[in-house]
Structure 1
Amino acid sequence: MTFKIIETFSGIGSQAKALKNIQKINPNFKYSIEATVEWEIGAMYAYDILHNGPQDLSKYDNMSKESLVAFLSKYNISSDGKQPLKDKSLSRMSIEKLKSIKHSIEANKNLVDISKVKVSDLPEADLLTYSFPCQDLSISSYWHSNFTGINKDTPNRSGLLWEIERILNEYEITGKPMPRFLLMENVTAIHGPLHNQNF
């Protein structure tokens, strides 16, 4: 049996790396990453290189810069993990960078923006992982007087955790079988008094 995984907030693929390590110890363990969700370009690219090796961009040789921009503008991608890129910013990128982003999305079945993901977009899975952003709940956030945490409807990066609740509710409403396991990973500050009311 192959263990099927959806890796949201996938970043550079720490969960995928952990699964590879498990497979080294237990070669009978079979898994497949069925989908990823990551909108930050640097993380998308790193994930692709780390898990798939060098990119072969030759399959995009016949694509014009305009067609690449049109393709990527359908996605809500970010260069800083905070704000989505505008089409104008995409148009300023080199054709090689645009090809590389397209490759990263396609090779990793990346659904890109967690806030736009619907249950109907998600493949069947045994495990759903969510290593949501820690910036607004980690110790470093206090140094910058950021006490926003992960409260529901907080408009910050760590508040994206609640997109998982929305997705799980959609599973229930639609009757689509939920993943059998959920795996949340984050910094230890998540257990702090500021966040207790959320659990």
Structure 2
Amino acid sequence: MNALPATVNRFFALLVAVICIVVGGAAITWTTHTPWVHDHLERIDQGWFARAGDQNWWGWALVGVLVVSLLLGAWLLSLNIRPRKVGDIELAGSDSSGSLTLNPSRLADAVAAELQAAPEIVSAKAKALDDRKRELLRITVVAHPDTGYDDLIARVRTAEKHLHSALDGSRLRPQFLLHYDDPGTKGKNAKGARVV
């Protein structure tokens, strides 16, 4: 998740928590007959709540709350599900005479193809993404269930060395997610996730 969605989500979680604490605290103090709370709540015209539904503005107020809620909800959804892509990466060796750039999506495809060509690998998928201001090349590898862990790690280490040489001086970092395939699923499901 990017920094902006994470900050917005934390703000709204804090806001909901504060509202719940205030309402819950008011309910508890009301039932325990705390004088200060009773004095303040009794000053409120409680008949207003019964009369509000009969007012002309009540319907418009409900429509306004509905529209604002829908717009806020749509904005929050778009903020959280928007693509977290990484732009072209400038490599070491770039200078005033020119810049060397690399498309991370192409690099991800190349890494996945290299890993998937290995006989012990069922599938390999890679994608470049921005995770809270960290540019990652996330590679998900699913290995045959009878593959030894050391063999799998050796295969991944080779891919990692190739990536480090290609990404020298770049902020993009590889992240490997390793899984073992479930023997009865023929590559559809994977178990035993491990992050390297």
Kindly indicate which of the two structures has a greater share of residues assigned to strand. 2
TM-score when scaled to structure 2? 0.27
Task: Tell me which of the two structures has the higher relative contact order, counting C-alpha pairs closer than 8 angstroms and 6 or more residues apart.
Answer: 1
Kindly indicate which of the two structures has a greater share of residues assigned to helix. 2
